[in-house]
Amino acid sequence: MKRQFINRSTIAEDLTAGLVLGIQSIPDGLANGLLALINPIYGLHGYMMGTFSGAFFTSSTFMSIQATSAMALVVASVPQVTEGRSPNTHLFALAILTGILMLAAGLLKLGSLVRFVPNAVMTGFVNAVAVLIILGQLDDFTGYSSVGANRIVRTLDLLQNLDQVHLMTLMVGILTIILILTLEKTSLRSLGMVVAIVVASLMVPLLGADVLLVRDVAAIPDLLPRPLLPPLSVFPGLVIPALSLTFVGLMQGAGITQSIPNPDGRYPDASGDFVGQGVANLVSGLFQGTAVGGSLSATALVVGAGARSRFANISAGLVMALVVVLFGRFVGAIAMPVLAGLLIVVGFRTLKPKQIGMVWKTGVVQQVVMVLTFLAALFIPLQYAVLLGVALAGLLYIFQQSNKMTVKAWQIGPGQYPVESEPPTAVPPRQVTILMPYGSLFYAATPVFSQQLPQVTETTCQAIVILVLRGQTEVGSTFLKVLAQYAAELRQQESKLLLAGVEPYVLTQMERTGILQTVGRENVFPVSEGVGTALLQAVDAAESWIAAQLEVQLAR
């Protein structure tokens, strides 16, 4: 599908939406840099370059690619980045490496993999990020420099030293929050946040308050960033945080892909959005910006402001560039408690109590995964907490799939549909027992499958067990081993195991491993186009064999 960058009939709406997003993104970008413990201008560069360049490559028409809060916290947990000097080549290399990984994920069409990340993991992670955002701003919000190994410990240190809080700094921070919450309810709406930041910062010199400003923390140039390629030597040590940033960015971007349709009513392609985010990170890193990803809040803002085409995000990037060039010197006058107040508001809005409630009501497994992910994100570096969340997602998937395995018994009468029931506890003698497994037969599910098989006892004699395998396109060696053992147990009791509806690849697996010889080629009935044909063939063969055994016994 051809991308339309500018719709002449909606250019006015797109310019308006771009102006709103561009202006609002300036303080937000600086605050994001502050959250990432880097020079705030690098956060603004990421917003500017990511929003502008990503608009040309995403599958989503409206996706705004900016430095999200969750990604900022991952960046803040990387020592090479936070301890880097200016220019921060480690930060730029991290963005470029993240872009390469995202781009590779998109080109390899890995967008479908987002469905394997459980909601419990993302809920625990997102809410932990929200708490970390709030706690991480308390120093700038109160003017007290806390100490401790992590944000929880530093918060406890602050609570024990409330007498050392700088009251004027605290008042400016509280004023910022009040102004944001008040002005956003007026006709200013989204621009109310920008006005609140300007007004609160202007109060500092008017009151003669001794409050830390952005320019006291980092130099804010009034020039556009120039291309800067980091040395190759810094890349190897950033692979793990880049993987974490890739996961977080793509998962957050997938929320936009799945919730905001394009103008034609169709939903974007997740892999195409991966490509757009990858390119945006490459451009951001090359032009001295931090790692970026699809921002749901920014996307919702630009759509709500009237965006009709990609030109809305393109113009937003241009607006940010113009502000940096024309008013960059004034950006440094923003008070640090003002940005802290802004981030505290963002943190509270990032909390998802409804999602927590939904996950909690789902079950014990979901509760445990959510809580473990939440606690891990609070107490260990976020880059490792992200990878732990991915591991938990995999373990949860295996656990759920293995527990879904169930075996049912079928009874088939002449001209009737199968009647399903629980399998017998033991294989009955001189009868045909049909077993139908439901669920995946991979290695973790095999013990569950084995436990549900009817036991072969001393009373089992001249019996047939038919196992229906139609739909099982691939099995593991663990399952094949169980089949061989079960067939051997039946054979010792003068009974047999028959396999019906065996898929071609499973038959190949049995031949390669020698299991086909153990079970017996004559006892395997391959799948056919007719549903149930292989099963009926197996039933006929089983009944004929039992009848033949009975005749032999009577003849004796």
The reply to whether 384 and 413 lie within a common domain is no
In angstroms, the CA 227 to CA 95 distance is: 13
Structural domain includes residue 486: yes
Cα 175 to Cα 171: distance, rounded to the nearest angstrom: 6
Residue 32 and residue 149 share a domain: yes
What whole-number distance in Å separates Cα of residue 363 and Cα of residue 227?
51
Q: Which of 397, 424, 458 is the last residue of a domain?
A: 397
Q: What is the pLDDT of residue 23?
A: 86
CATH code of residue 470: 3.30.750.24
- Report yes or no on 2 lying in a domain: no
User: Can you name the residues that pair with 450 across neighbouring β-strands?
Assistant: none
The answer as to whether 4 is a domain residue is no
Domain boundary pick from 341, 372, 397: 397
- Read off the pTM: 0.74
What pLDDT, on the 0 to 100 scale, is given for residue 285? Answer: 97
Q: How high does pLDDT run on average in the chain?
A: 89
Residue 427 shares a structural domain with residue 511: yes
Angle 270-286/239-257 helices, nearest 10 degrees?
Answer: 130
Question: Do 96 and 169 fall into the same domain?
Answer: yes
Angle in degrees, 0-180, between the axes of helices 11-35 and 69-76, rounded to the nearest 10: 30
* Same domain (yes/no): 250, 322: yes
pLDDT given for residue 2 in this prediction: 59
Report pLDDT for 556.
65
Residue 1: inside a domain: no
pLDDT at 439: 86
Task: Establish if 3 belongs to a structural domain.
Answer: no
Other beta carbons less than 10 A from residue 217's beta carbon: 16
Q: For the chain, how many structural domains are there in total?
A: 2
Whether residue 215 sits in one domain with residue 347: yes
Instruction: Give 157-166 pLDDT, tens digit per residue.
Output: 999 999 999 9
Q: Supply the pLDDT for residue 547.
A: 93
Do residues 217 and 274 both lie within one domain? yes
**Taking CA 443 as the corner, what is the angle to CA 442 and CA 449, rounded to the nearest 5 degrees?**
80
Q: How far is CA 496 from the centre of its chain?
A: 48
Examine the fold and report which residue of 367, 397, 427 is the final residue of a domain before the chain moves on. Answer: 397
Q: Residue 6: inside a domain, yes or no?
A: no
Q: Is residue 385 part of a domain?
A: yes
Position 307: which residue type? Answer: A
Residues 221 and 345 in one domain: yes
**Helix, strand, coil in percent for the chain, rounding step 5:** 65, 5, 30
Q: Which domain holds residue 538?
A: 406-555
501 and 363 assigned to the same domain: no
Residue 103's pLDDT is what?
A: 96
Task: Please state, in angstroms and rounded to a whole number, the distance separating the CA atoms of residues 103 and 249.
Answer: 12
Using 70 as the pLDDT threshold, list the residues of the chain that sit under it.
1-4, 115-116, 556
In a domain, 61, yes or no: yes
CB 81 within 8 A of CB 46: no
Same domain, 229 and 335: yes
Please report the pLDDT score of residue 240 as a whole number: 92
Q: Say if residue 236 is in the same domain as residue 329.
A: yes
**φ/ψ bin of 349: left (φ > 0), alpha (ψ from -120 to 50), beta (otherwise):** alpha
Query: Does one domain contain both 415 and 282?
Result: no
pLDDT given at position 243: 92
Nearest-Å Rg of the Cα atoms of the chain is 31
